[in-house]
Amino acid sequence: MGIVRKALGVVILIGIGLVGAGPAALAVRPVDVVVADRAGVLDRNILLPAVQGIDFYQPTRVAVYTYNGTAADNLNEEVLRFARAEHPEWISADGQKWADGLFIFALDPAGRHVGTYLGEDRKVSPEQRDDIQNAAKELLRDAQWTDGTIAGIKRGAELINQPWYRSTAFLIAAWTTAAAAAGAAAWLIVRWRTRAASRKELARGDTSYSNVSMDLQITELNANTIPGSSRYGGSVLEKHRTFLARYNTATELSRQVHAFSSRDLSRRPNLKLVRAYADAAAELDALDDVISDTNALLNRGSSWAAAWDRQLAPFRADLAGLEQLLGQRHSAGDSATAAALRSFRGQSQREIERWTSELADGAISPETALDRLRDARTGLSELLKNHADTVIEGFARNEKEATLMRKEMESAQAGPKDRFGRAYEPSILGTVYPSYYFFSVPTFNAGFNSGVSNVSSARGGESTTGYGGSGGSFSGSGSSSGF
């Protein structure tokens, strides 16, 4: 790491020398801030002091305009209409441009558009306009209207009339000069991080492999007493039949990775091998626990109650996570499908207690208890799928967006996978049924968040220029985009 620090030091010194070559930039506070919050979404007590404290390179008038439109609206046209009607001083004397020294930040929270408009002496490139809008979008998507507006204006101040020596082009050229030193430093850093990751994976693998090795004889004894006539027992035994072969494979991997030197652990191909060892050992560790639980539960051994609790754990976690799922923005928490999920949660929590009591009394068999748990989780899966349709219908604006969201939901339901493309829940049901059989709350959340993010990004990438039919020959610098 000493070599890495020295290399980075050289890069930093070169960068400072290059960037410091330009003259000092002026820091000028806005000469005026006008807020026309027609949508009623901004907190002026926070917004005004924040904007008034932002430094621009040149004296700039800042205007903020919000209104509630629709997704089909042209925000550019609306901003021009508003300026003509109520703020003609925002328009140049000839009526064709925005006034000099002006920066307008516009927001439509209902139609979900954001726009930026600039006087001729303050205008930036189309890419920089997108940059200003993008700086606000993450906050705007989360309905943080005031903070998003501040973030957009702050980014605008960084780009409007930006000195040449702070431009992206100059900085790229400057850092290119330092590329040789940076390349050396980066190479050292990559090797160091790879070595650290390899050691972490090696420790993970050793922990799991040690657990499996110590319990190897017990695992065999448990497998030998699992009733093969049981539907669940038979499926778990099918997995066990390859257990020893997979253990031998993990043993060989362990031998290989423990022969690596510190330098070997710095190489990415070897990191992949170490990770393969850790994944193989972790899956065996999970499977031997399932074999133990299957034996204890089906034979009603002394630890059957703890084994049963472990089978209930994924379902209980799903029920506990429902309210957080339904409380997210865009999650249609007041819909009929959300009400169905809440009703199911209450009923299932009562059912779990009844199954456990009947299992303890011998009124039902372990297989029947597992059947009921399977049916309940299947029921939850169907309710989650119904609610996914509700969420997609509420958020997507067209069939293209709905298809994108459905694709993300389906991808999430296929399950998180390891490097071999496998997905596995370490439980009896997770061993018997494929990974996509149950639609869980974490799966729903993953697909939902990914779908909303991808659709929002696609909307944000569509920039609108021009001022619509009512704009006439107006050609002021500006554009808007969705978020």
Summarised one tens digit per residue, pLDDT across range 218-240 is 999 999 999 999 999 999 999 99
pLDDT of residue 381: 96
Tokens of 331: 């999650």
> Nearest CA to 436 among 377, 386, 393, 383?
377
Mean pLDDT (whole number) for 238-264: 95
By the 8 A CB rule, do 30 and 62 touch?
A: yes
Mean pLDDT (whole number) for 31-48: 96
Mean pLDDT (whole number) for 317-346: 95
Which amino acid makes up residue 270? N
Confidence check: pLDDT of 164 > 90: no
pLDDT band at 183 (very low <50, low <70, confident <90, very high): low
Mean pLDDT (whole number) for 104-122: 95
If you search the block for the tokens 């009947």, which residue do you land on?
358
d(CA 388, CA 406): 8
> Nearest CA to 338 among 395, 390, 394?
390
Mean pLDDT (whole number) for 100-112: 95
Burial class (CB in 10 A: 0-12, 13-18, 19+), 176: exposed
Tokens of 455: 């659709």
Confidence check: pLDDT of 362 > 70: yes
Q: In what order do the strands lie in the sheet with 61-66?
A: 32-37, 61-66, 102-108, 113-118, 477-482, 463-464
pLDDT band at 353 (very low <50, low <70, confident <90, very high): very high
Domains and CATH numbers, the chain: 24-162 (3.10.310.50), 303-458 (no CATH)
Mean pLDDT (whole number) for 28-32: 93
pLDDT band at 418 (very low <50, low <70, confident <90, very high): very low
Confidence check: pLDDT of 182 > 90: no
The two beta strands, 463-464 and 477-482, are antiparallel
26: phi then psi, degrees, rounded to nearest 5: -75, 150
Instruction: Provide the angle, in degrees to the nearest 10, between the axes of the packed helices 126-141 and 441-460.
Output: 150
Mean pLDDT (whole number) for 95-113: 95
> Nearest CA to 118 among 101, 131, 94, 106?
101
Confidence check: pLDDT of 421 > 50: no
Tokens of 131: 């940059």
CA 324 → CA 151, 328, 338, 445, 454, distances in Å? 28, 7, 12, 10, 21
Percent of the chain scoring above 70 in pLDDT: 87
Q: What is the pLDDT of residues 260-318, one digit of tens each?
A: 999 999 999 999 999 999 999 999 999 999 999 999 999 999 999 999 999 999 999 99
Task: Name the CA radius of gyration of the chain, rounded.
Answer: 30
d(CA 414, CA 425): 12
> Nearest CA to 146 among 68, 1, 251, 41?
41
Q: Percent helix, strand and coil across the chain, each rounded to 5?
A: 65, 10, 25
Give the global pTM: 0.65
Mean pLDDT (whole number) for 122-149: 93
pLDDT of residue 3: 47
Confidence check: pLDDT of 42 > 80: yes
Confidence check: pLDDT of 171 > 70: no
Q: What is the pLDDT of residues 61-83, one digit of tens each?
A: 999 999 999 878 899 999 999 99
Q: What is the DSSP string of 253-307?
A: HHHHHHT--TTGGGSHHHHHHHHHHHHHHHHHHHHHHHHHHHHHHHTT-TTHHHH
Which carries the bigger pLDDT value, residue 44 or residue 178? 44
Q: Of how many residues is the chain composed? A: 483
Mean pLDDT (whole number) for 130-134: 94
Which carries the bigger pLDDT value, residue 397 or residue 345? 345
The H helix count followed by the E strand count for the chain is 17, 6
pLDDT of residue 408: 92
Any idea what the Cα angle at residue 73 is, between residues 68 and 78, rounded to 5°?
A: 70
479: phi then psi, degrees, rounded to nearest 5: -165, 170
Confidence check: pLDDT of 347 > 70: yes
Element (H, E) at 341: helix 336-361
The average confidence (pLDDT) of the chain is: 89
pLDDT of residue 415: 61
Dihedral sign from CA coordinates of 291, 279, 381, 335 = positive
